[in-house]
């Protein structure tokens, strides 16, 4: 076998019949899990975890930190190289793995915990920290038996966009020179446009056109989403955009027409009439529940299809427990022993069961035992679903909140049947959702990191340990930031400054079930959509994610896929391959640059006490803003296409 040098081979993305993949560092022995790598990743993870916490409480979303941390790791290690402290690409991979765990902990905490403050129940720092540790470790443990199936067995089928983007960043930095140009061009463009749109506010964040009956089409002005679309390709991007189109062009107009003659609000809306609601309000109050039902059904279908392979994975794991001596696999396939995962899982569940004041506010061991069982069941399910979803659409588009909603629906229904409907019961149900949300988020992030490691030739066991270290070092920081913001920001969490939109949704779900006022019909409609997609052989999870997320988000992803299709169609095979590779490098840079700038802007907002940079005056005509937004999108696409054609042509001339 030959060893690829300074470039990921085509087999890193797609495997044709008869081809096998050779890791980037195949046949080489080098340092990986070093003190330098772990400390660098842990420190970067703490900073990014704090920034993501503020951003999520403000806007209801978080930024995938895997790629930004990979970029910053490269910068830090280059500085150390000038001081004579050399590094390896596998050390960079460990730093990125440790640091990226922070975003998963932050997502789970800020999507749920603020609901406690809104209810008037302030949790302790230790409680939030232990819940973060529990959810993170459960997510890591449940991913151990899934790695062989999802990362190795599905190689060439599941793209894992952020994982491959991180690998391209590290390989490009390792190669240097012209090989790194694509990634760093993309980083520069991504940072520039993110600063213009979200920093200076010179461009509105999306372009919208109304079509009548409250149907709208739009596209987000987002370099990272366009980059993700190029990495995903036209097929998956089109399926996701179709789901978004169903919501924006069919469901919203249908709800509007159905309710236009009604004279009373329709639950869950309690104030406005349907005819008086904006498209955004209709999406928030009705379509989001439909999307949550579609995602939940898509998860059930995916789980059912995966059961045989998962059973085999666990069977092999149990066999390894009872095997005293076995042939040692290559280091690229060595992972934590299955029995270690069982010990960690058992310890976490025992801690949740027997430690008072961690899992909710009902102080009874048997209640906490039931909650621990629910956590294990829901986490097992959604870890499987999440790790596969991100293989299709990436961490940024992973509908973790939809999985949390499904968990809260099931948990709250059980609590209702058991009579635990008071405020303490609601808070305890939320704690179950918090732990499962963190576990699902962690598995999605971890699967991307494992993909990066698999491509580079990392030892999975070292990455699995690194993920645990990342959880342990970031959980306390995230908890501290949540408590600090609640006490220092006017109105606290849930107030005008930090509205915590995702947590508000979780509160509505729990209140709805335990107080018996949830729109089950909308959830059932979404489940029916998921079944229909499966029957016509549409990739159900990708389609369901499109239904759940706004069309403007999916449209940006679709544009990236279209650009890749347009630049590679009807081209000779070698030229098409060069354009694909150059575009993926540039797309990886767009994702990294946009994500890194988003985190820096979040830090700036935090340090400035919530004060934002001022751009165009608010009275600028709407038409002018739309034209500027559309022009910005065109500029991003134009730069992407220009670089791909130019760089691919240069490589062809060199060849």
Residue 442 confidence (pLDDT): 92
Residue 414 confidence (pLDDT): 92
Where is pLDDT greater, at 573 or 245? 245
Residue 307 confidence (pLDDT): 66
Task: State how far the Cα of 261 lies from the Cα of 255, in Å rounded to an integer.
Answer: 11
Residue 129 pLDDT more than 50? yes
Closest among 325, 566, 424 to 120, alpha carbons compared: 424
Task: State how far the Cα of 82 lies from the Cα of 70, in Å rounded to an integer.
Answer: 19
Q: Where are the domains of the chain?
A: 30-324+336-654
Q: Tens digit of pLDDT for each residue in 24-48? A: 888 888 888 999 999 999 998 887 7
How many angstroms from the chain centroid is the CA of residue 450?
15
Closest among 13, 30, 16 to 332, alpha carbons compared: 30
Angle at 365 between CA 359 and CA 370, to 5 degrees: 70
The sign of the CA dihedral 78, 82, 85, 88 is positive
* Poorest-pLDDT segment among 127-141, 264-278, 319-333: 319-333
- In three-state secondary structure terms, 62 is coil
Residue 596 pLDDT more than 80? no
pLDDT band at 5 (very low <50, low <70, confident <90, very high): very low
Residue 604 confidence (pLDDT): 72
Q: What is the mean pLDDT of residues 116-143?
A: 91
- In three-state secondary structure terms, 121 is coil
CB 525 within 8 A of CB 290: yes
* DSSP assignments along 588-626, one per residue: HHHHHHHHHHHHHHHHHHHHTTT-----S-TTS-HHHHH
Task: State how far the Cα of 289 lies from the Cα of 407, in Å rounded to an integer.
Answer: 14
Residue 397 confidence (pLDDT): 60
Helices assigned H by DSSP within 457-550: 460-488, 501-514, 520-535, 540-548
Q: Tens digit of pLDDT for each residue in 490-522? A: 677 877 667 777 787 788 788 888 887 778 888
Q: What is the mean pLDDT of residues 339-353?
A: 90
* Poorest-pLDDT segment among 174-178, 377-381, 573-577: 174-178
Q: Tens digit of pLDDT for each residue in 58-99? A: 656 666 778 778 877 888 888 888 888 888 899 999 999 999
* Poorest-pLDDT segment among 30-39, 381-390, 570-579, 601-610: 601-610
Residue 577 pLDDT more than 70? yes
Task: State how far the Cα of 225 lies from the Cα of 205, in Å rounded to an integer.
Answer: 12
Q: Tens digit of pLDDT for each residue in 250-259? A: 999 999 999 8
* Poorest-pLDDT segment among 183-192, 196-205, 308-317, 560-569: 308-317
CB 278 within 8 A of CB 286: no
Q: What is the mean pLDDT of residues 169-196?
A: 75
pLDDT band at 438 (very low <50, low <70, confident <90, very high): very high
Residue 623 CB neighbours (<10 A): 8
pLDDT band at 322 (very low <50, low <70, confident <90, very high): low
Residue 370 confidence (pLDDT): 92
Distances (CA, A) of 601 to 52, 64, 107, 197, 313: 10, 14, 18, 11, 42
Q: Supply 382's token pair.
A: 């959604």
Task: State how far the Cα of 165 lies from the Cα of 157, in Å rounded to an integer.
Answer: 16
Residue 17 CB neighbours (<10 A): 4
Angle at 63 between CA 54 and CA 81, to 5 degrees: 105
Average model confidence (pLDDT) across the chain? 82
Q: Tens digit of pLDDT for each residue in 551-563? A: 888 888 899 999 9
Q: Supply 376's token pair.
A: 């294990």
Residue 325 pLDDT more than 50? no
Closest among 503, 434, 436, 446 to 471, alpha carbons compared: 446
Residue 1 confidence (pLDDT): 38
CB 159 within 8 A of CB 231: yes
E strands, 213-291, in order: 215-220
**Crossing angle for the helix pair 622-654 and 181-194, nearest 10 degrees?**
170
Task: State how far the Cα of 179 lies from the Cα of 161, in Å rounded to an integer.
Answer: 19
Q: What is the mean pLDDT of residues 477-491?
A: 80
Peptide bond connecting 54 to the previous residue in cis, omega within 30 degrees of 0: no
Backbone angles phi, psi at 144, to 5 degrees: -60, -50
Task: State how far the Cα of 124 lies from the Cα of 284, in Å rounded to an integer.
Answer: 31
Closest among 599, 605, 608, 607 to 190, alpha carbons compared: 599
Where is pLDDT greater, at 563 or 359? 563
Can you give the pTM of this predicted structure? 0.74
Q: What is the mean pLDDT of residues 570-594?
A: 80
Task: State how far the Cα of 39 lies from the Cα of 331, in Å rounded to an integer.
Answer: 23
Task: State how far the Cα of 398 lies from the Cα of 542, in Å rounded to an integer.
Answer: 10
């Amino acid at each position: 076998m030959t060893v690829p040098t300074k470039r990921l081979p085509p087999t890193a993305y797609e495997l044709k019949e008869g081809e096998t993949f050779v890791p980037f560092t195949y046949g080489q022995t080098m340092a990986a899990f070093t003190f330098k790598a772990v400390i660098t990743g842990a420190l970067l993870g703490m900073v990014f975890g704090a920034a993501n916490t503020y951003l999520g409480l403000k806007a209801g979303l978080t930024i995938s930190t895997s790629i930004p941390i990979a970029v910053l790791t490269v910068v830090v290690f280059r500085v150390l190289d000038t001081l004579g402290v050399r590094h390896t690409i596998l050390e960079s991979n460990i730093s990125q793995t440790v640091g990226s765990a922070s975003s998963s902990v932050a997502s789970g905490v800020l999507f749920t915990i603020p609901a406690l403050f809104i209810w008037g129940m302030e949790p302790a720092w230790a409680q939030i920290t232990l819940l973060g540790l529990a959810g993170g470790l459960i997510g890591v443990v449940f991913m151990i038996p899934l790695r062989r199936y999802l990362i190795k067995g599905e190689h060439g089928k599941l793209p894992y966009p952020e994982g491959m983007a991180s690998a391209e960043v590290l390989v490009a930095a390792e190669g240097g020179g012209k090989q790194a140009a694509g990634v760093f061009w993309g980083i520069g463009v991504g940072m520039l446009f993110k600063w213009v749109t979200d920093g200076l506010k010179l461009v509105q964040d999306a372009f919208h056109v109304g079509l009548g009956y409250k149907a709208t089409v739009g596209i987000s002005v987002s370099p990272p989403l366009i980059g993700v679309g190029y990495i995903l390709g036209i097929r998956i991007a089109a399926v996701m955009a179709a789901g978004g189109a169903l919501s924006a062009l069919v469901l919203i107009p249908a709800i509007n027409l159905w309710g236009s003659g009604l004279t009373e609000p329709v639950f869950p809306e309690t104030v406005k009439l349907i005819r008086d609601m904006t498209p955004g309000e209709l999406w928030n109050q009705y379509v989001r529940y439909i999307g949550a039902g579609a995602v939940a059904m898509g998860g059930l279908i995916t789980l059912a299809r995966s059961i045989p392979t998962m059973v085999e994975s666990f069977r092999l794991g149990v066999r390894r427990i009872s095997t005293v001596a076995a042939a040692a696999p290559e280091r690229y396939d060595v992972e934590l022993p299955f029995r270690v995962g069982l010990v960690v899982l058992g310890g976490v569940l025992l801690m949740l069961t027997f430690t008072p004041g961690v899992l909710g506010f009902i102080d009874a061991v048997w209640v906490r035992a039931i909650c621990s069982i629910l956590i294990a069941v829901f986490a097992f399910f959604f870890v499987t679903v999440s790790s596969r979803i991100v293989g299709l659409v990436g961490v940024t588009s992973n509908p973790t909140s939809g999985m949390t909603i499904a968990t809260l629906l099931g948990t709250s229904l059980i609590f209702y049947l058991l009579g635990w409907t008071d405020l303490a019961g609601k808070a305890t149900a939320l704690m179950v959702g918090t732990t499962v949300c963190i576990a699902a988020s962690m598995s999605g992030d971890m699967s991307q990191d494992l993909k990066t490691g698999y491509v580079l030739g990392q030892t999975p066991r070292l990455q699995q340990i690194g993920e645990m270290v990342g959880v342990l070092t970031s959980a306390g920081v995230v908890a501290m930031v949540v408590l600090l913001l609640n006490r220092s920001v006017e109105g606290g969490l849930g107030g005008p400054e930090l509205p915590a939109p995702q947590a508000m949704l979780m509160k509505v779900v729990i209140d709805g079930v335990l107080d018996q006022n949830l729109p089950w019909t909308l959830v059932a409609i979404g489940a029916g959509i998921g079944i229909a997609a499966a029957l016509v052989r549409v990739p159900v999870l990708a389609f369901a994610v499109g239904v759940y997320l706004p069309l403007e988000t999916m449209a940006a992803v679709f544009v990236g896929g279209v650009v890749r299709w347009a630049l590679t169609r009807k081209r000779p095979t070698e030229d098409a391959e060069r354009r694909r590779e150059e575009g993926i490098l540039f797309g990886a840079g767009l994702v990294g640059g946009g994500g890194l700038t988003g985190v820096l802007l979040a830090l700036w907002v935090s340090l400035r006490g919530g004060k934002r940079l001022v751009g165009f005056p608010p009275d600028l005509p709407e038409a002018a803003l739309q034209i500027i937004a559309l022009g910005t999108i065109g500029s991003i696409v134009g730069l992407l296409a220009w670089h791909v054609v130019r760089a691919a042509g240069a490589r062809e001339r060199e060849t």
